[in-house]
Amino acid sequence: MSSFLYQRPIHNPLSDPYPISPRSSSNPQKSYSIFSPTTLLVLLSLMVVMGVFFPWVGMRESLVSVTKPSISKWRDYTLAQAVSFVAQNGTVIVCAVSQPYLPFLNNWLISITRQKHQDKVLVIAEDYATLYKVNERWPGHAVLVPPALDSQTAHKFGSQGFFNFTSRRPRHLLHILELGYNVMYNDVDMVWLADPFPYLEGKHDVYFTDDMTAVKPLNHSHDLPPPGKKGRTYICSCMIFLRPTSGAKLVMKKWIEEMKDQPWSRAKKANDQPAFNWALDKLANKVDLYLLPQAAFPTGGLYFKNKTWVQETKGMHVIIHNNYILGFEKKIKRFHDYGLWLVDDHALESPLGRI
Ligand SMILES: *[C@@H]1O[C@H](CO)[C@@H](O)[C@H](O)[C@H]1NC(C)=O
Ligand SMILES: *[C@@H]1O[C@H](CO)[C@@H](O)[C@H](O)[C@H]1NC(C)=O
Ligand SMILES: *[C@@H]1O[C@H](CO)[C@@H](O)[C@H](O)[C@H]1NC(C)=O
Ligand SMILES: *[C@@H]1O[C@H](CO)[C@@H](O)[C@H](O)[C@H]1NC(C)=O
């Protein structure tokens, strides 16, 4: 099957209100014939400078060559506009990405494209480079909620920059719920091996996965697990599905509140996951929560560390999370070792192509 079949025709959600097309005045062939080649060249260059879009030139080339004048409009693209553009069946899949994570974004996107869910993906760009890069390749699929973060500091796990980066997640998710959409959030160091949507059974408010490595029986309960050593649960904030219910909104509000109560400090090097767990634990009897099956959504601490378990649960895995390991290069190597690093050989399957 052609790897391009999945691509819907690229069109711009912010359609240019002032199309300056040579075709709008008269037949271009006819008018060209009265110009000398030199005049024509000058005219063409002028048009390029003005940011005129030539649909008959290879789409990618023209996007690259006229990027500068046309990108500025993405600055004003709002989350509401973006969500209404990408949503399908009232559902969006979102991730939040800064520039250093683009290879992981692409890897994740290839795996989602294989499950035919890429059209509803919205990339929440944390810096302008990411916003422009994604929208240049895939118009309308990235949005930036200001302010943009400094991409140098934003990707160091455990740093204040990283905390600032992740602490905005529940706000974005709450906003999307308030717009009335179902939303799935994923970290981009994940790979889909199958379609997760059939696992979102019933009409619960919040669906999530456990980050504990202990093996559970296949028929484990879908309730929030009991708290662990730190007095709270170890649910992963890496993969969350929310319905636009008051219960789900309450969890997001509580998460935001919990994060304010426990701001980043050098000693604690907090990330957003404990706050998410406190929110779930405190609301467990008010909100309808649903724990997804471990065999389908294992933590990296199990999938990459227990070969026996992987063998026993063969064919049941749906989303693999490359966590319980720190560092870019190590993550890439591990994905590579397990045949889950798809960007080297399958980049053309991504809506972004090779980046
Ligand atoms: C939308 O939902 C309907 C009914 O649940 C389903 O049959 C259809 O495949 C969905 N479409 C997309 C694009 O997900
Ligand atoms: C993180 O956010 C805090 C509070 O908004 C701010 O004071 C700090 O400068 C930010 N740090 C980084 C590294 O982004
Ligand atoms: C899972 O299966 C075991 C053995 O068949 C049974 O004893 C247990 O009650 C089941 N647990 C749940 C949560 O259904
Ligand atoms: C690894 O998986 C096997 C099979 O599920 C299980 O019996 C064993 O306890 C697991 N090992 C560890 C260290 O968790």
239-266 residue pLDDT tens: 999 999 999 999 999 999 998 877 666 5
Least-confidence region, from 37-41, 213-217, 317-321: 37-41
The rounded Å distance from CA 278 to ligand 4 centre is 28
- Mutating to test ligand 4, I would choose from 212, 213, 215, 219 the residue with most ligand atoms within 8 A of its C-beta, which is 215
For residue 309, how far is its CA from the centre of ligand 4 (angstroms)?
6
- Alpha-carbon separation of residue 279 from 28, 237, 255, 262 (angstroms): 62, 11, 5, 12
CB 169 within 8 Å of CB 159: no
The tokens of 9 are what?
A: 């025709």
Structure tokens at 191: 């790979």
d(C-alpha 211, C-alpha 187), whole Å: 13
Closest CA to 174 of 88, 107, 257: 257
Q: Which residues contact 15 (CB under 8 A, 6 or more apart)?
A: none
* SS3 call for 285: coil
Q: Does residue 88's CB lie within 6 angstroms of at least one atom of ligand 1?
A: yes
231 C-alpha vs ligand 3 centroid, how far in Å? 26
Angle at which helix 169-178 crosses helix 246-261, to 10 degrees, equals: 160
Please tell me the residue having the least CA distance from ligand 4 atom 2: 309
Please tell me the distance between residue 261's alpha carbon and the centre of ligand 1 in angstroms.
40
Give percent of the chain above pLDDT 90. 66
Ligand nearest to the backbone CA of 311: 4
Above 70 in pLDDT, residue 165? no
**Predicted confidence band of residue 42 (pLDDT cuts 50, 70, 90):** low
Decide if pLDDT at 84 tops 60: yes
- Ligand 3 centroid to residue 225 C-alpha, Å: 15
Q: Whose C-alpha lies nearest to ligand 2, atom 4?
A: 164
Our answer on whether the CB atom of 90 is closer than 6 Å to any ligand 1 atom is: no
**Are the beta carbons of 353 and 141 closer than 8 angstroms?**
no
Cβ atoms of 63 and 137 within 8 Å: the answer is: yes
> What confidence category does residue 307 fall into, taking pLDDT thresholds of 50, 70 and 90?
very high
Q: Which residue has the tokens 């944390």?
A: 126
Query: d(Cα 280, Cα 286) in Å, to the nearest integer?
Result: 10
pLDDT, residue 303, reads 98
Task: Tell me the helix, strand and coil percentages in the chain, rounded to 5.
Answer: 45, 10, 45
Q: What span, in angstroms and rounded, lies between the C-alpha atoms of 4 and 53?
A: 22
Any residues with Cβ below 6 Å from ligand 2, and which?
A: 153, 160-161, 164
- Rounded to whole angstroms, the Cα distance separating 73 from 18 reads 13
Round to whole Å and give the CA distance between 132 and 67. 9
The span from the CA of 253 to the CA of 227, in Å, is: 21
Number of H helices, E strands in the chain: 16, 9
Helix axes 246-261, 273-283, angle to 10 degrees: 130
What separation, in Å, do the N-terminal and C-terminal C-alpha atoms of the chain show? 23
pLDDT: is 129 or 265 the higher one?
A: 129
Identify any residues that bridge with 11 across adjacent strands, giving them in sequence order: none
CA 237/CA 343 separation, integer angstroms: 25
Domains and CATH numbers, the chain: 30-65 (no CATH), 76-349 (3.90.550.10)
DSSP character at residue 18: S
Per-residue model confidence (pLDDT) at position 53? 45
Nearest to residue 96, comparing CAs of 118, 54, 124, 130? 124
- Bridge partners (DSSP) of residue 243 are none
